[in-house]
Each structure stands twice: as structure tokens, then as C-alpha cells.
Structure 1
Amino acid sequence: MTATIVNNQLILDYLENQFGTAQITIRGTSKGLFIEDTFTITVNQVTKGILITGTSGNDNLVGADGNDTLQGLAGNDTLNGGLGSDSLEGGNGNDVYYVDNVNDVIIDSAGTDTVIAPFSYTLAAGLENLTLTGNGNLNGTGNTFNNTIIGNNGNNYLLGDAGNDKLDGKAGVDTLDGGAGNDTYTIDNVNDVIIDSAGTDTVSASISYTLADNLENLTLTGSTAINGTGNNGNNVITGNSGANLLSGLDGNDSLNGGNGNDTLLGGNGDDTLIGGTGNDSLTGGSGRDFFRYNSRTEGIDTITDFNVLDDTILVSRSGFSGGLTVGTLLNTQFTTGTSATTSAHRFIYNASNGQLWYDIDGTGTTAASQIATLSPTLALTASNFVVF
């Protein structure tokens, strides 16, 4: 260390990497007399920031303890400044930024980028996705883009703001606020809260779930036998691979059981019920209901309340084959009895036991398949079938 006095100011010049506490004595003399004073000064270690520049490829850039500048350039880069207040610039590509200091700065205007943060964070313009880490009760806030925001193990508040956002609180009791747009919420705790009043929104739930007001669609995930319940709106409810109970309640709902032996209750309104694979129980409820079949081999469903005056059976032309044409089923392709009596017959309704069969060729060359059981003695006709 060197010391100089300029314009009555003491200037201390430390060498690089010098730090610690120094004792300084200043003595002034005049005409044989002197006066002195002693004081101490502490200089903390300062780690010089570094500049790290990537390539046109996919780089993994990691800074040191100082205030570093990381530039990813092209490619899908991962930037981690380490300690210090860092400047992270991904450049082109879909980049991932690790921030560990509230003063870290991200510069990005291209690609679909992700920020990983151990503290509450708000996405700046040009950033799309946010993942919170650790166990703290943190907040994550989006922007006007279509954001994906993922919480941590704590009780998170996630705000999507504008855009069509995806919010997943993960573990903990989370509050998910999609804001404007058509948002998707992932729910795994019965105490999770959804705040939404705009757009057409979807809840993806691994637990039994009932849609609150202002939520439109529900998709059950996993393989556990759980239940999905709608509201007064027009809901789309989709089951998982387990045995689900799906209830539409009011509104014109679409219920899809997926895999498993499911129970579908349309409720009020003009509902569409799709049993999916498995032997399902389908109840349309009041209104003009549609029972949809995508394949002749999905299982044998029980339609509990088919009304020949109001209800319709929808069948897929490609899923059933056998020469079906789009539109109302031809009269020649329907018959009542126990089997086809002409090569044109495709759907056979046994009025004595309610069984509904499909014969792909009407000749018996390929065995007929039972697709449903309806109430017996219905006045069922070809007009109750529509091919799509």
C-alpha cells in the first residue's frame, strides 16, 4: 500500500488482492513541534468480475464470486452467474438463467427462455418461463407473454398476468392467479386456490376436483380412481386411466371417461358423453344428449336413460369402418333382432334385452361386436344414429 497527500486529502492506493485492516499514523511537524494521530482503516476483499462469452452452440456458462457478465450468443444456453450482481445475456436460442441475487440482470429478446430462482421473482419482458426452487413461501409473477410458472415446495402465490399461462404450484398450499387469457392450472392439493375471472381455463388435477365458477375445463391425471365435477357453465371434463365418476351438472357439457370403467353423469343441458375404453355407465340426464363412440372395440357401455325422441348415438366413420357414410345412418344399415339379416345391416338392436351390436360386414364373416346396452323395448331407429 502507498499513501500520498493531494490537496489536503490522503489517498491510499492498495495493490491488487490486498485487503484487511491497516493502522495509519499521521504526524505533522513545525518549528520542532509535532502533532500526530493514529487511526485504522479496513478494506474488504473485492473480487474482480469476469466476462464469459459463449459460442454459436449450446453453452453452459458459470460465473465466479464477482459481478460477472455472461454472454451466451447463439444456441440454447445455460447461464449461471454465481455470487455477485451478474449480467446474464442469453442471445438467440431458448436459454436458461439461474439467478441467486436480486440484483442479477437478465438481457434477452429471443427464444423461449426460463428463469430459475430461489426467491420471489417477476419475469421481465422477453422472458417466458419461471421455476421457483427451495422450500420458502415464494411468489412468482409473469408478464404479458404466455408464461409457464412452476412453484417450489412452499406455499406459493403464482400470478400469470396477461397471456395464456400455465401455473403449477407443486407441493404446498398454493394460490394460482392466471389473470387474463386462457390459462391452465395444475392442482395437487385440496387446499390449493385458483383465482380466475377471464378466458377459457383448464384445471389439470391429480385429485378429485370440482370446478369453481369461472372455470371451464377439467382434466384428471394419473391412474387413481378420482372424481371430476363441473359447475353451471359449459364444461369439458376428461378422466384419467382409472375408474372415474364425472358429473357435468348444469350446462352443455362434454364428458370423456378416458380409460377405465367410468361413470358419466351429464346432468342438465345438452351433453356429450364419451365413455372411452372400458365398460362405462353413461347417463345423459335431461336435455338432448349425445353418446359418442370413436371405435367399435372400446368396450360395452351401459346407456341408462337413452331417449329416442331427444338423444343421439354418434359413431366414427373411420373408427367403425364397414362402409358408413357421414350423416344420419342409412335406414338399410339398421335393424332390430339378434343378428344382421342382410349384408347392409350394421347396427343391430335387440329390443328384448337392450343390447346394441355392430356388424362390420353383415354376413357373419367377421363376428359382430356389442358396443352398448340400452333399455329394452325402445323404439330405436336409424335416425337415432349419426356418423361423423
Structure 2
Amino acid sequence: MEYDVIFYYPQHFNRSKAGTNPFFDPLIKICEDFNISFLLIEEPDKNTAAPRNSKAYQFDFWLFLILSFRKLIPGFFFKTSRHRDRFIGKLISRLSFRKFSARNYITISNSMINCLSAFNDQAKVYDLQHGIIYSWHHGYFNADGSLKEELNSPNLGFLVYGAGFLNEFSKGNENSLNHRVKVIGNVLKPLHMEVAVMPEKNLNKVVYSLQFTRDWDVRRLEDQREELFALLESVEATFLKFGLVFYLKHHPRFGNCINLSTLSERFKFVEFINPGFYEPDQEPFLHVTIYSTVAFDYAEKGIPTYFVQSKSAPEGKMIYLDKYAYPCVYPSLSEMITVYLTDHGRYMDEGLKVMEWQKNFYADFDAKQFLNILSFSGNENLKGSAHVGEEN
């Protein structure tokens, strides 16, 4: 059997309430609605607290074989790592009797992208965007902005959220990648949940999206902890003056990689939010981060972000302020808080600015475009926006 599409993803993306991958949920819903045959494959991750998805095919055995082949087959036999992964992909295809053959493959974080491309030489393989993309992102580009060699195959493509991200693929590539990059819109925003007005905000609440993850080295983690401590000291008087609470939200891949318990003991205005999704009764009036993509989520709701200037992680300034031209910039977090709490008109104006800024990067999810990418017709039969994109 050949599937119309195979979805492949690592287990740590199971971040929805139902324990599924929210990036794939709306795409799977469309496949179900249009009787498009698909297989959902889950790559195991023993280092995550995310659950296994009972509806996904468990790839444990085949992943073991792939990793074993990578160790046993010397890399010097091949021109590049892409060629070796394609060779391994062909081996897996034969050993599995073409169990994983499909007309289209969609993966995320470039997971197994070249192995998947070898399961069917005639298929298209797409990487679905899950974070921000910029012209020096090490997962996609070389230092000069050209596409990395392991992604430079004509049957590999990229599904992005908006024009702002699509444009990053043109830099350093002489526009040669445009036909391989498709704007699919924001898959994490079901169409029936469009934001029409600014939500009610809690003027006592500030949320900091932390960036501590287990894939950082110890030195960087310690440097970030020191910088966080220094930031909290610098804003302590402001938070106490206005009676604010600073909620520190862990990254989904935090994994207790560093001990931060002393922070809430030292700073009484600080509270921690566990890793995973957090749904407050009221939104904060301000968001803080170094470079978390949550800044886009809050911008959609008219909530500005203060980007912390970090010596250990300077990419925040480089990406959001220099590259993406974020419209609201203040010399310090304390000054930004003070302005917003004392000048409501300015706060509302800047909320509208960040909403407009966000739209360039996150277009509405386009179900018709997804069907076109899979080469399926029947777009005229698409159901109403209140249905397309709903969670399972």
C-alpha cells in the first residue's frame, strides 16, 4: 500500500491537551475530511515528559536500525551525510517491504528528512516550520545564507507560516528556492479561533518565556541563570512598586536542566509556570523573553514583548530587533512597564502595532494550499472555516 501522505515527528512535539502533535493536528483533520490516506509516525524520545500518541505508528524498531546503520556504515563511503542517509533510507524501505511508501512526506524540525526522501524517489518531502526561521539559522542555512547541503535536494521543500519567513529562503540563494517554499499559514491557529479584538489583560501580570533547555551546554545555562538573576534584581523595585507578579514560564524542553529554585526564594514577586502550555484566566499585559517564538503568539493578541539583551544568547536582538524589525523597543524592562502602566493610550497603540507586525510572519492557515501541496483537487468542497482546522 502507498499512502497519500506520511507524517513523521519526534515524540517531544506531543504538546496538546490530548497528548498529540498540535502542529500536525489540523493537517490530519483535513486528511480525514477528504479521505486522504495517511500514516502518522512517531519517533521515540526517552528524554521528554511528553506522552506517546496511541494513534501514531511507533517507530522504535526502525529508528534503532537507522541509528545502528549510521554507526556501522562509515561516512567516508559517501560524498555527504545526505547521501548516507538516503542510502540508509533505501535499506529501511527494502527491509520493511516498502511499508513506509507515500506520495508525500511531511516532517518537522527536519527529522529524518533525507531518509524519508529515499522511501520513494518520486515523492515530495516537506519540512513543516515549528519555530522562527532566519537567514543564518543553523538548521537550514550556512553562514552566508545559502541552504545547507543536506537540504539541497530538488524533492525537498519547506512549509512556512508567512511571507516574512518565506523571504529568508531567498537570501544567499538567488531566489532559487522560491518554488520549494510554500506559505501554508499558522497551523497552530485553527480558523475558528481568530482573534477579533484584544483580549482582556491582567495589569498585574508579566510572563517571561524562558529559554533553558537540556540541549544547551552547562556554561551557557549558568550564564543565562546569572543574567536572569541580574534582570530580576534590576526590576525588583518596579515590580514591588506596581504590585506585579513575574511568571517565569519554562520551555517545553526544560527537563530540569538547571536548578532555578533559589530565584523564587530570593524574589517574592516571582512565580514559576511548569513546562508545557499555560492557559491563564486573563492574559498578561506584557511578555518578556530572549528569543522565544511565544513573542509572536502574544503579538497576535496585542501584547508587546520586551526582548532581553543577553550576552550569552545575543540572537534575540539579532533576530527580532535587527532582522524582523520589532516595532516596540525600550532601553529597559522597567521603563517599558512604567510607560505602559501610566500611559494607557500608548500601550493600546503599541498593541495594535505588534498585531500588524505579526501578520507578516503568521498568515491565516490555508487548508486549500495544503490540498494543493498534496496535489489533491476538491478545494471547492472545503467545509466552512468553523470546521477546517479544528482539533481532534
TM-score normalised to structure 1 length: 0.20
Higher fraction of helix: 2
More strand by share: 1
Q: Is the radius of gyration larger for structure 1 or structure 2?
A: 1
Instruction: Between the two structures, name the one with larger relative contact order (CA 8 Å, sep ≥ 6).
Output: 2
When the two structures are superposed, what TM-score results if normalisation uses the length of structure 2?
0.20
